[in-house]
Structure 1
Amino acid sequence: MKVAVYDLYWSTYGGGEQVDAAIAECLARAGHSVTLLGPHPVDVEMMRRRLGRDLSECDYRQVRDDDEASAASADVDLFINGTYLSTAVNRARWGMYYVHFPEVPATRRQRTIQMVADAGYRILAGPSQLPPALRGVRDGLARRRRDVRWVHSYSTVCANSGYTAQWVDRLWPCTAEVLYPPVEPIVGRTVSDRSGIVSVGRFFDRRFGHCKKQDVLLDAFRSLEADGAGDLALSLVGGADAQSRDYVLGLRRAAIGHNIDVRVNVARDEVIDRLLGAALFWHAGGIGEDLARHPDRFEHFGIAVVEAMSAGCVPMVFGAAGPAEIVRDGVDGIHWHTVEELTEATRALLAAPRRLEQMSLAAQERARRYSIGEFDAALNAVVSRLS
């Protein structure tokens, strides 16, 4: 079967690209003819080094936007759209849309504008001939309509988590089945060889939305130190671009004089070493956000959480959205809702090495649910149902 996998952001090597690359690799390995669609040729060697995915058996075709991707989809049997916020219409025989998150819910004002625009457009779209002035009004109303009819061009919609699937059900005229992203396991050490706390996630300035809240974790650790934390250390690890430079500099200034290490844009090997050396994994995505107004600002799945668990870290996650779905509170990790809960639970776990060891082993077992093998089997089942 001829398959096309569409991603406008291959070169960012983010979580979405990790999933889309895994989809392409899996289907190529299964014998399908796979073409990667995107604005620039995919760097196969960089993809292997950065994300651990082998796309050497895939072809490439340039598409620069949704319209070009839609046109390209007509040339394949199965079109898989993994581009965040894409509205490309599928023209292949079968279509699969992989949702990383559907969209930001409209405000009351936006909903009112959309309703008025929709009603006005329906009236003006009826007459076959309109004066030029009214044609301009009609076209203006069309731009303000919320048109999700493109969803119906897809045979199936898959979501990266139950959290995302719930928002698909609320915001789009369809239901989504959950297809969890694959996570490459990290071979762990015994808990006796571990110490300290690590947090892994991109550094995003709060002004730009999806912030991982490393500043909250930094403040939490300083409060632990104030109460006496001994040799306990915190490592904040992640990538950053120029847009988040001020945010990173602020973290580094705040870390001065504390046992806190801020590591930016480090090699993958160092990330793995940090995860293998830490006893606890902290995650704060979503804290301080409004779930009803900004569900996109929460962690939609949590690849870094699963990676940490596979390495044997005990995850301590803000108890909402994707991470709360992955981590079973009190079994293979901890849910927290306030900084005070985080620091208290941290002290309690570090003071109970036997419980820490049990939870570490449980975390490693839980992480196997999100293995490459599980993903491949689930994806092949979806494709088999379509064809």
Structure 2
Amino acid sequence: MPVFGKCKMKRTAIFSPTWDSLGGGERYASAVARLLLDSDYSVDIWWPKNISQSIKARFAIDISQANFVPFPSNYQLITMNYELVFWVTDGSLPVSLAKKTLIHYQIPFKNPGFLNKIKAHFYPSVCNSFYTKEVIDKTYGINSQVVYPPVDVNSFLPQTKTNTIVSIARFSTLLHAKRQDTLIDAFSRLSKELSGWELVLAGGSTDPRYVSLLKKQVKNLPVKIITNPPLHKIRQLLAQAKIFWSATGFGINTALHPEKAEHFGITVVEAMSAGTVPIVTNAGGHRETVIASQNGFLWTTLDELIDCTIKLARDPKLLQSLSKSAKDRSKLFSTAVFNRELTQLL
């Protein structure tokens, strides 16, 4: 009988221009890499150094089996060697000769340039939310698909809840600023109404000046600021808090600046998974994860944020009901759902 060799593994290349930032796009790309590795693909990450340990520490996604290789100078021809190229775009698009090239839009760009608009029609595209899709489709003249980012709902579980409001967001004033200053302002106005409650602001930071300004704003309020917390600390904060706040997109005209609202909001879903009720801005991807008065609240003005928070804090039955609904809804954004829907695109 003839002896057949092993089937040749399918090769894929994954590109992101900002792997070193380890933001939402890199989290999405890491999840794609993990899915492909589990599907017996050989995965090349186009990045000059192996950052798999940093990815695991940040996202709890193990892609150590992937190959980290520098971006090829003649990448256009190199793509011919790949079954799949997964490209996280910063607005610019590649010239790819791979069997299949899938473009991921993480940010709702409005001014990509004429040539990129032409290229967009040659490749299938996937967005991280319908909010992003609406802008991308109009900008590029395409019909993209939506696959929500995956959330490891089994790792964000509720613990004994304390009288804590938490916000998990990068301390930054760039792109879509998270507006922790607004949250401190709101808490200063309601703290007398909610004796015994505290606000915890946590997130990555590369802007010590902004953090310093926030600390000065806090004064004597029961507010904690935690910079660059490890993943286990984030899980603990979400597990123990009763309420989750976000002010991303506050005061922004999203018709003019769609990129400044939350494009999806992974931490909102992580909070929901931990049974922490979200009270978040009525903008961007928040509208897709939070259904007002069912699993949280959406706010437009500071008065609405304050009123919703006081209402929830003073009504244990309502808090318990919304907490359960939030946890149930978070399952719609699980890793299992992501893997199933992305596999259909591949």
TM-score, normalised to structure 1, is: 0.83
Where does residue 330 of structure 1 map in the other structure? 293
Distance 1:60 1:363, change over 3 A: same
How far apart are residue 321 of structure 1 and its match?
A: 1.0
Where does residue 281 of structure 1 map in the other structure? 244
Kindly indicate whether residue 29 of structure 2 is the aligned counterpart of residue 61 of structure 1: no
Kindly indicate whether residue 41 of structure 2 is the aligned counterpart of residue 76 of structure 1: no
Kindly indicate whether residue 187 of structure 2 is the aligned counterpart of residue 179 of structure 1: no
Kindly indicate whether residue 200 of structure 2 is the aligned counterpart of residue 232 of structure 1: no
Paired residues of 1:301 and 1:323 also in contact (CA < 8 A): yes
| Identity, % of aligned positions | 29
Paired residues of 1:310 and 1:364 also in contact (CA < 8 A): yes
Amino acid aligned to 1:87: L
- Alignment partner of 1:247 out of 210, 215, 225: 210
Cα distance in 2, alignment partners of residues 359 and 81 from structure 1: 38
Kindly indicate whether residue 1 of structure 2 is the aligned counterpart of residue 14 of structure 1: no
Cα distance in 2, alignment partners of residues 361 and 299 from structure 1: 24
Structure 1 SS opposite 2:45: strand
Kindly indicate whether residue 314 of structure 2 is the aligned counterpart of residue 351 of structure 1: yes
Paired residues of 1:21 and 1:55 also in contact (CA < 8 A): yes
Distance 1:147 1:27, change over 3 A: closer
How far apart are residue 83 of structure 1 and its match?
A: 3.5
Query: Residues 207-261 of structure 1: CA distance to partner in whole angstroms, max 9, x if unpaired?
Result: x332011111110000002x432111000101111xx222111101111210111
* Stretches of structure 2 lacking an aligned partner (at least 5 in a row): 1-9
Distance 1:283 1:102, change over 3 A: closer
Kindly indicate whether residue 97 of structure 2 is the aligned counterpart of residue 91 of structure 1: yes
- Alignment partner of 1:321 out of 261, 284, 293: 284
How far apart are residue 147 of structure 1 and its match?
A: 4.5
* Stretches of structure 1 lacking an aligned partner (at least 5 in a row): 107-143
Paired residues of 1:212 and 1:285 also in contact (CA < 8 A): yes
Distance 1:184 1:70, change over 3 A: farther
- Alignment partner of 1:218 out of 180, 184, 198: 184
Structure 2 SS opposite 1:263: strand
Amino acid aligned to 1:48: K
- Alignment partner of 1:368 out of 317, 320, 331: 331
Paired residues of 2:12 and 2:44 also in contact (CA < 8 A): yes
Distance 1:105 1:329, change over 3 A: farther
Cα distance in 2, alignment partners of residues 223 and 70 from structure 1: 56
Distance 1:94 1:146, change over 3 A: closer
**Aligned residue runs from structure 1 range 106-255, under 5 A:** 147-154=116-123, 156-185=124-153, 186-189=155-158, 193-205=161-173, 208-225=174-191, 227-241=192-206, 244-255=207-218
Structure 2 SS opposite 1:288: coil
Distance 1:167 1:28, change over 3 A: same
Paired residues of 2:193 and 2:310 also in contact (CA < 8 A): no
Where does residue 260 of structure 1 map in the other structure? 223
Cα distance in 1, alignment partners of residues 264 and 188 from structure 2: 28
Amino acid aligned to 1:365: D
Cα distance in 1, alignment partners of residues 116 and 145 from structure 2: 22
How far apart are residue 262 of structure 1 and its match?
A: 1.0
Q: Which sits farther off after the overlay, 13-22 or 145-154?
A: 145-154
How far apart are residue 11 of structure 1 and its match?
A: 2.4
Structure 1 SS opposite 2:43: strand
Distance 1:69 1:253, change over 3 A: farther
Amino acid aligned to 2:82: V
- Relative to its length, the structure with more helix (as a share) is 1
